[in-house]
Structure 1
Amino acid sequence: MSITAEQVEAGQAVYSKSTLAIYDWLVLRFSNRLIWTCPSARILALYDRHVTGNHLDVGVGTGYFLDRCRFPNDRKRLGLMDLNPTCLDAAATRVARYRPEVYRANVLDPIGLEIPRFDSVSMTYLLHCLPGTIKRKSAVFRHLKPLLNRGGVMFGATLLSKGVDKSWAARRLMAFYNSKGIFTNDGDDLQGLRSILSEHLNAVTVEVVGCAALFSGRA
């Protein structure tokens, strides 16, 4: 079954200015710690471990992690990529001190932009918002890999429905988000994630923290 434009839109349309105004508190402080049981500090540590001075962030949210992570002292280039222009504006404003490059693109399609390559690419809480099965979502890695220098690192985090422990609250909230099309992860499982990562990347690592899988791999 093909993925419709409406399905793609549903996963990102919720991120309006009003939603982004409470996103850090609602998602990164409350839900991450108490519902998904993956404190945002664990994701920030993932950024600190892998981010380079030539970095692209995909699915930018509010720019929270880019604002807080420790870039190398020789940081020289930061790119932002998202389909939602409101998210791009919010993140670009938040990290304006880095003079980011801004790219609007749907990563389920080939990236039709001429962009110099990066040494690291991150995608945090992107995959579970994308329509389709976990296998279909592997297109994201196929489309982003050409933007990554040889030996570069791709990393991120996603919420899974299967292969992880979920509390009653996590099950209920995840089901609600799936019913609204905000999430499409009711079939996303740990083994499926490992499979698509290994299909496109080398030296793959996956760490499960609560409902979240924190992953990395190299081109």
Structure 2
Amino acid sequence: MSVTEEQIHAGQAVYTARTLKMYDFIVLGISNKWIWKCPTRRIEAQYDAQVSANHLDVGVGTGHFLDNCHFPTVNPRVALMDMNRSTLDYASARIARHQPETYQQNILEEITQPIEPFDSIGINYLLHCVPGSIPEKAIAFDHLKPLMNPGCRIFGSTILHEEVPKSWAAKRLMAFYNHKGIFSNTQDTLTDLNEALTQRFNNVQIETVGCVALFSATTR
């Protein structure tokens, strides 16, 4: 599949200053529990277990998880990376107490900005918005590897289309989002996700909750 600029921008263009105000209620409050069958508290628990005092979040959403997670120190280094300026502004304002670094970046492109590496990287609900199959999307992991210290934990979650249980409502909503270009996950499988991670990292763990895959791994 040849990924176009239009497809890349479609997956993030929906997140405007106005829609971000409704995101937590619609996605984290309703869709996660009732549609995707993965309550938000499961993702919150993943952040608490994996986040470090030197953390980068990629695909930042509203900043909910960074706002609510328990960092192992009172003064963590926190950085945000997203190609959407609106989400960067919204999330950075929400966690302003951490004085976050912000980087506007398309994760499908090589990262050329000089950035000090991290001990943990979170990629939450991003991959299912990235066009292409998982083997194609996995170039994002390659682009992030130079930003990972030895032993860095990379973790996150993504909504899969195949090899996971989907209710009637999940099938309908997923089809609608894919039609609109908000999602691009019609080829996303659990097998491909596992393979993409095991090819690049150690200690790969994947847990499926509903149609969501919660994953973690460490650098080699």
Q: TM-score, normalised by structure 2?
A: 0.98
**1:2-21 counterparts in 2 under 5 A?**
2-21=2-21
User: What corresponds to 1:95 in structure 2?
Assistant: 95
| Cα drift, residue 75 of structure 1 | 3.8
User: What corresponds to 1:209 in structure 2?
Assistant: 209
List runs of 5+ in structure 2 lacking aligned partners.
none
AA of the residue aligned to 1:26: I
User: What corresponds to 1:43 in structure 2?
Assistant: 43
**Residue-by-residue CA offset, 1:98-138 (whole Å, 9 max, x unaligned):** 00000000001111111000000000000000001111011
| Cα drift, residue 58 of structure 1 | 0.3
Distance in structure 2 (CA, Å) of the matches to 1:75 and 1:151 = 21
**1:95-174 counterparts in 2 under 5 A?**
95-174=95-174
Distance in structure 2 (CA, Å) of the matches to 1:25 and 1:141 = 30
**SS of 1:135's equivalent?**
helix
User: What corresponds to 2:52 in structure 1?
Assistant: 52
Q: Over aligned residue pairs, what C-alpha RMSD do you find? A: 0.7
Identical-pair percentage: 54
Give yes or no for the alignment of 1:187 onto 2:203.
Answer: no
AA of the residue aligned to 1:211: C
**Contact 1:117-1:149 at 8 Å conserved across structures:** yes
Distance in structure 1 (CA, Å) of the matches to 2:10 and 2:149 = 32
**Residue-by-residue CA offset, 1:115-174 (whole Å, 9 max, x unaligned):** 000000000000000001111011010001110101110000000000100000000000
Distance in structure 1 (CA, Å) of the matches to 2:58 and 2:88 = 10
| Cα drift, residue 215 of structure 1 | 0.2
**SS of 2:134's equivalent?**
coil
Distance in structure 2 (CA, Å) of the matches to 1:73 and 1:218 = 21
AA of the residue aligned to 2:161: S
Distance in structure 2 (CA, Å) of the matches to 1:198 and 1:74 = 33
Distance in structure 2 (CA, Å) of the matches to 1:146 and 1:46 = 23
AA of the residue aligned to 1:115: I
| Cα drift, residue 76 of structure 1 | 2.9
**Contact 1:54-1:75 at 8 Å conserved across structures:** no
Distance in structure 2 (CA, Å) of the matches to 1:136 and 1:73 = 36
**Contact 1:52-1:75 at 8 Å conserved across structures:** no
Distance in structure 1 (CA, Å) of the matches to 2:217 and 2:208 = 15
Give yes or no for the alignment of 1:196 onto 2:196.
Answer: yes
Distance in structure 1 (CA, Å) of the matches to 2:82 and 2:192 = 24
Distance in structure 1 (CA, Å) of the matches to 2:149 and 2:162 = 32
Q: TM-score, normalised by structure 1?
A: 0.99
List runs of 5+ in structure 1 lacking aligned partners.
none
| Cα drift, residue 49 of structure 1 | 0.2
**Contact 1:38-1:212 at 8 Å conserved across structures:** yes
**SS of 1:132's equivalent?**
coil
